[in-house]
């Protein structure tokens, strides 16, 4: 099968086409013919080992797994003998979690991992960019008890995780203020934000109002920078926390305010994807595509995503 692999960390030219053996599904797996995958912020970070500690998971001197790609949409081509949930021909989408391996024509997937049928009416490219953004956003938002009319500020609202946070918060009827560049402001308004602040024109840290929840979705702010904007019971959540946030979490915990700062790594759970699947079916959320690249253009897609300026998501057509 055709694939894109990387044998060392580095710039986009470490990604190269290669012909690999088609995987054989185990008894609890399905073999998916991939029609679309994505390039996420996590993909370029692993490719370039940025920041350095990524190597502790991905391989110290070189990548342990040479196949990148964390999410996919495609069609079930074979099912293992223990699999009852899926049949040959099902249109499915899912996340590989901390594993990877979707820059290829086929992937063998455990049925207990984040795997589900694609909702009616959703194309492969759209379905392929759902899991990472939405599962990450859902994981973190479950840790806060979001109520209707609560005031939420999302910094980095125009990215993959940010746009999913925005839609999940709106599905709970929260009032959402999004922060992004002027270039992406009109998109964010269309995606449902009640108010959009361009960080090029206005310093959100000077806002007079206070928030129930502030989300740092792309690591361009910190608890220290925003804590004066939180209500007394307000929470700060970051899926892209820097060391300062972890130190502040430690300080807050020692002061008995351990609930105020939420950081960590999102789990990619099957039951959470089922929730996202029903929200998609009910048309309460949808994935937003910035660009779609062909399979041979994976290095170019990496170069674009690495700029950190995309609006929503970038998909790759595989078949």
State the Cα angle at 272 between 308 and 85, rounded to 5°.
120
217 binding ligand NAP? (CB under 6 A):
yes
Site string for ligand NAP, 20-59 (x = CB under 6 A): --------------------xxx--x--------------
Q: How far apart (Å, rounded) are the C-alpha atoms in residues 302 and 11?
A: 9
To ligand NAP, the closest distance from the beta carbon of 48 in angstroms equals 12
* Angle formed at CA 36 by CA 35 and CA 42, multiple of 5 degrees: 150
Sites for ligand NAP among residues 221-240 (CB under 6 A): 239-240
Decide: is 215 part of the binding site for ligand NAP (CB under 6 A). no
Site string for ligand NAP, 71-110 (x = CB under 6 A): ----------------------------------------
Up-side HSE of residue 32: CA atoms within 13 Å toward CB? 34
Give the shortest CB-120-to-ligand NAP separation in angstroms.
Answer: 26
Axis crossing angle, helix 160-171 with helix 131-141, rounded to the nearest 10: 50
Which two three-digit tokens encode residue 9?
């960390």
Q: Indicate the residue among 76 and 152 with the shorter CB distance to ligand NAP.
A: 152
Q: Cα–Cα distance between 231 and 212 in angstroms, integer?
A: 6
Quote the CA–CA distance of 183 and 6 in Å, as a whole number. Answer: 33
Residue 158 or 167 having the CB closest to ligand NAP: 158
Contact of 104 with 96, CB cutoff 8 Å: no
Q: Which residues bind ligand NAP (CB under 6 A)?
A: 40-42, 45, 132, 136, 155-156, 158-162, 179-181, 183-184, 199, 217-220, 239-240, 265-266, 305, 308-311
């Amino acid at each position: 099968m055709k694939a894109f692999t990387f044998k060392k960390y580095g710039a986009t030219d470490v990604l190269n086409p290669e012909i690999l053996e088609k995987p054989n599904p185990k008894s609890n797996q399905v073999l998916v013919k991939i029609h679309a995958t994505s390039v996420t912020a996590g993909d370029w970070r692993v490719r370039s080992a940025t920041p350095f500690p990524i190597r502790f998971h991905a391989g110290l001197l070189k990548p342990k797994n040479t196949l990148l790609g964390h999410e996919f949409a495609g069609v079930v081509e074979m099912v293992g003998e223990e699999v009852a949930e899926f049949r040959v021909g099902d249109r499915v989408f899912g996340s590989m979690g901390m594993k990877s391996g979707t820059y290829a024509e086929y992937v063998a997937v455990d049925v207990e991992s984040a795997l589900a049928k694609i909702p009616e009416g959703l194309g492969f490219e759209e379905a392929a960019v759902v899991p990472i953004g939405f599962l990450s956003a859902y994981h973190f938002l479950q840790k806060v008890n979001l109520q209707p009319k609560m005031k939420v500020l999302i910094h980095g609202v125009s990215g993959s995780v940010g746009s999913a946070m925005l839609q999940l918060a709106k599905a709970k009827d929260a009032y959402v203020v999004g922060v992004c560049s002027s270039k992406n402001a009109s998109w964010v308004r269309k995606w449902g934000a009640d108010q959009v602040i361009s960080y090029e024109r206005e310093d959100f840290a000077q806002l007079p109002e206070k928030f129930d929840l502030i989300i740092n979705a792309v690591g361009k702010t910190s608890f220290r920078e925003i804590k004066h904007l939180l209500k007394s019971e307000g929470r700060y959540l970051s899926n892209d926390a820097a060391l300062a946030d972890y130190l502040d979490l430690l300080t807050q915990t020692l002061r008995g305010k351990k609930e105020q700062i939420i950081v960590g790594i999102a789990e990619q759970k099957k039951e959470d994807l089922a929730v996202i699947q029903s929200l998609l079916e009910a048309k309460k959320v949808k994935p937003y595509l910035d660009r779609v690249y062909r399979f041979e253009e994976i290095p170019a897609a990496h170069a674009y995503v690495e700029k950190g300026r995309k609006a929503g998501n970038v998909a790759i057509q595989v078949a």
